[in-house]
Each structure stands twice: as structure tokens, then as C-alpha cells.
Amino acid sequence: MDGFTGVNGAALVLRIAAGAILMAHGLPKLPGLSGGRVGRRKLVDDIASLGLPRPDLWATGVAGLQGVGGVCLLVGLYTSAVAAALALVMAAAVYVKRTEGFVLGADFPFALLCALLALVMIGDGGFSVMSLLGR
């Protein structure tokens, strides 16, 4: 199966869905964008709960990775590498959210984790910037 009904189409759908969600959730958490207030405090608190030093700095890195990584996924630029990095972030989110239960807790980051792992395996697909560049 080639074309839109095969792996290329599946990669496109997964990239658009995951990329749009991650970009929409990541960019507002950056300092200076939307006041950096939308979800940023919760993200800093969640990172602090992991015992990591400088949770504010980690939060900026995570938000930046989600925002820029989301754009990369949308256009199909280094999809496997970007999806792998974002999968680590979602795995941490599942770990943090596990105490809230699965439904309305860890279910959303788990779904994104699964989509990202699929993209690690599938790659950019034929409808991507990387495909246009001949890679």
C-alpha cells in the first residue's frame, strides 16, 4: 500500500495530531508567550515532584521541546528523533500523572506516548519536508 492509504498517510495523520497537540500545549508554557502562565506553574510543580534541580529551567526546556518539536512533527522534519525525545517527556508525564489514575490522569499523556512511539518506528513518511529533501 502506497500513497495516502498506507504508511505515508498514517504517518501524516499521526504527525499532524501529535504535532498540533504538543505545539498547542508547549508554546503557551514558555516564558513570555501568553504570559507564560497557561499551565507553566503546573509543569514546574510536576517537574519539582520528580526531584529535578531547577524545575523552572527544565520547564522551559520541556515547553520548548513540545513547541518546536510539535512544529517539526507537523512538517515532517527529523520525525523519528523528535518523536523519541518527546516520548521521553510523555513517559515522565505518565509517571507523574499515575497518581491521578488512568482516566482523566495518565490517559492523555499515555495516548501521546503511544502515538510518538509509532512515529519513532514509522518515521517522516512520504508527505514530509524530509521526503521533499530526498531523505
With residue 47 as reference, give the H or E element that holds it. helix 40-49
In a domain? residue 132: no
Instruction: Return the closest-CA partner of residue 41 out of 55, 25, 61.
Output: 55
**Helices vs strands, H then E, count in the chain:** 6, 0
pLDDT (0 to 100) of residue 8: 93
In a domain? residue 47: yes
Residue 83: CB atoms within 10 Å: 28
pLDDT (0 to 100) of residue 37: 55
In a domain? residue 94: yes
Count of domains for the chain = 1
In a domain? residue 73: yes
For 114, counting Cβ atoms within 10 Å of its Cβ (0-12 exposed, 13-18 middle, 19+ buried), the class is middle
Host domain of residue 35 = 3-123
Name the amino acid, one letter, at 37.
R
SS3 105: helix
In a domain? residue 133: no
In a domain? residue 34: yes
In a domain? residue 8: yes
SS3 125: coil
> Along the 135 residues of the chain, how does pLDDT read in single tens digits?
566 778 999 999 999 999 999 999 998 888 876 655 558 888 999 999 999 999 999 999 999 999 999 999 999 999 999 999 999 999 999 999 999 889 988 999 999 999 999 999 999 999 999 999 987
